Amino acid sequence: MLFTVLGVISLFLRKRTINSTVSGQDKNFDRQEEGLVTGSNVATSDGRKIGDWCKESSLHLEEQIKVQTEKPSLEEPVDGQSEEPSLVEPDSVPGEEQASKFAKPGCSHDDPPNVVSAKPGCSHDDPPNVVSAKPGCSHDDPPNVVSAKPGCSHDDPPNVVSAKLGCKDVGKSATCQTEGAVPPKKKNKDTNIIEINSHRYEIGAELGKGGYGTVFAATRLQDGLRVAVKIANFKPKRLFRVDDFNQLLPAEIALHFLATKGPEVKELVQLLDWKVEADRYFMVLERPTPCVSVGDFLRDHEGRIPEDVLRKIMFHTTIAADTCLKRGVFHRDIKPDNLLMNPQTFEVKLIDFGCGVPLTEDYYITYLGTVQFMPPELKKIGYYYGEPATVWSLGLLQFLLMYKKFPEKRDLRRMKNKNYYQYGRSEECCDFFSCCLQTNPSLRQKLNALRAHAWFKRIIKKI
């Protein structure tokens, strides 16, 4: 009888202890609903969950229940008899539940086990072992994806590493991809092909670049002809009318067409085709091979240029200048960089009519070209004429080739009396540039006279 009474008392005390423990936890869960992050996990002294302990025999009265407080968790308590979480007061002690660990405060929705957020941010439906290095959201990322900077990564392929601009030390099986970049596509063979008036051209390397356009090496696909294609900006829009065409043409195209119209002159680069768009135009030009600009030749050449080479360069340039004027074109920018030279024969071709204007008998009050080649009379009297200005530019060209500098005032004074000489040069050589570099434009030689100058007699005889 006594043992029966003691057994009933023991069962009563055990039930009060369990109810007290559950009631304390219920209060914590109530506070959690109010926005307090104070939830705790319940476990026995040997590390087992209380849900497991409840399954054991109630006769083990000597075991004591200890409540150990873990790190704060947002996990909701689960009824031992139900697998779904509930905010209703449980009738029994919560069952087994795996806890999610957070390095810092943040929000987690339906995260699977072993998900780590390194800094505050949201992770939705992330798979295991996904690490977000900085704040941001990651949705449906595959395993082992690392986001190096804030932002969201959606449906990235496996083993893709987002890094800063440039890739380094990426594994062989990984794809190198910069932030926001699109995976490289295979280069289309037609990428560098343009069509101009039913002819297709394959664009190659850049040959040169000026103030208004760029020149590229190209090949005409129809017959394999090697050409040069110039792509120029239509700014400013200088337009001229040519008798052969109804519509106005860009100044460079119109003047180049007029200069090369008629019998071919080998001292002028031929204009083969062109195309005009709203804000740019294309020019298909002859591409002599081999060739180098006289400017590059002058910069690379060490020592004095032989007189025979000087003679050939100046002879071909004089013919080009005279041909332009006779065909009604004032080039206005004859200089070393606008002359292409065959380094084997030293034959020269004039290019780039972008600064030119139609030749008139009237004078000009504005100048468009290289400032160092501007005729001195424009600054002195405010106007200039086409032919004397062209002759002046020929004299400057020869002086540069001989001395690699522009003439100074004292040099021009000596040329006025035609007593300027360079040691080792012929008298005819020095007389040619002295005839061109007269500060008084009326004293300069005419182009017809320069073509027949005594310095060129040796070349003329061979023609």
Within a domain: residue 122? yes
pLDDT at 34 over 60: no
300 and 392 part of one domain: yes
Residue 317 and residue 145: Cα distance in Å, rounded? 66
The binding site comprises: 230
Structural domain boundaries enclosing 356: 292-462
How confident is the model over 146-171, as pLDDT tens digits? 333 444 444 444 443 333 334 434 34
Mean pLDDT of the residues in the chain: 73
* 436 in the same domain as 298: yes
Q: What is the CATH number of the domain that holds 251?
A: 3.30.200.20
**Most confident of the ranges 72-81, 89-98, 319-328:** 319-328
Domain count, the chain: 3
- Token reading at 74: 């947002």
**Which of 241, 269, 286 marks a domain boundary?**
286
> Under DSSP, is residue 258 helix (H, G, I), strand (E, B) or coil?
helix
Residues 303 and 224 in one domain: no
The answer to whether the CB of 227 falls within 8 A of the CB of 286 is yes
| 223 and 297 part of one domain | no
Q: Is residue 246 part of a domain?
A: yes
Task: Using pLDDT thresholds of 50, 70 and 90, give the confidence band for residue 99.
Answer: very low
SS3 113: coil
Q: Of 22 and 434, which is predicted with more confidence? A: 434
Confidence tier at 222 by pLDDT (50, 70, 90): very high
Q: Which tokens sit at 304?
A: 């004095």
Contact 436, 392 (CB under 8 A): yes
Whether residues 310 and 442 share a domain: the answer is: yes
Place of tokens 């496996």: 158
Task: Give how far Cα 242 sits from Cα of 112, 197, 259, 354, 442, Å.
Answer: 78, 19, 12, 16, 31
Binding site membership for ATP: which residues?
230
201 with 338, same domain: the answer is no
CATH number for the domain spanning 424: value is: 1.10.510.10
Look at residues 225, 253, 286 and tell me which one is the last residue of a structural domain.
286
Catalytic residues: 333
- Looking at the structure, do residues 279 and 410 belong to the same domain, yes or no? no
Residue 147 within a domain = no
Q: Are strands 122-124 and 107-109 parallel, antiparallel or unpaired?
A: parallel
Residue 351 lies in a domain: yes
Compute the distance between CA of residue 63 and CA of residue 44 in angstroms, rounded to an integer: 9
H/E stretch holding 283 reads: strand 280-286
Task: Using CB atoms within 10 Å of the CB of residue 126, give its burial: 0 to 12 exposed, 13 to 18 middle, 19+ buried.
Answer: buried
Instruction: Determine, yes or no, domain membership for 161.
Output: no
| Max Cα-Cα span within the chain | 151
Pair 380, 317 in one domain: yes
Can you give the pTM of this predicted structure? 0.60
Helix (H) or strand (E) holding 274: strand 271-276
Same domain, 265 and 314: no
| Residue 200 host element (H or E) | strand 199-209
Please list the residues that pair with 350 across neighbouring strands. 268, 339
The pair of structure tokens assigned to 426 is 């012929």
Is residue 312 one of the residues assigned to a domain? yes
Domain boundary among 286, 304, 321: 286
175 sits in which H/E element: strand 175-178
pLDDT tens digit sequence for 333-358: 999 999 999 999 999 999 999 999 99
In this structure, which amino acid lies at residue 243? Answer: D
Q: Is 324 helix (H, G, I), strand (E, B) or coil?
A: helix
Evaluate whether 139 touches 147 at the Cβ level (below 8 Å): no
Confidence of residue 315 (pLDDT cuts 50, 70, 90): very high
DSSP string, 234-252: --S--EE--TT-SS-EEHH
307 and 430 assigned to the same domain: yes
Q: What would the two tokens of residue 368 be?
A: 């468009």
Are both 256 and 324 inside the same structural domain? no
Q: What is the DSSP track for 138-152? A: EESPPTT-EE-SSS-
Is the per-residue pLDDT at 75 higher than 50? no
Q: Tell me: the pLDDT tens digits for 163-204? A: 333 443 434 333 344 344 444 444 455 569 999 998 999 999
State the number of CA atoms in the 13 A half-sphere of 255 facing the CB: 24
Integer CA distances (angstroms), 375 to 69, 294, 360, 391, 437, in order: 95, 21, 17, 9, 10
Residue 5 lies in a domain: no
What is the band of 5 on the pLDDT scale with cuts at 50, 70, 90?
low
Same domain for 452 and 420: yes
Residue 437, in any domain of the structure: yes
Residue type, 263: P
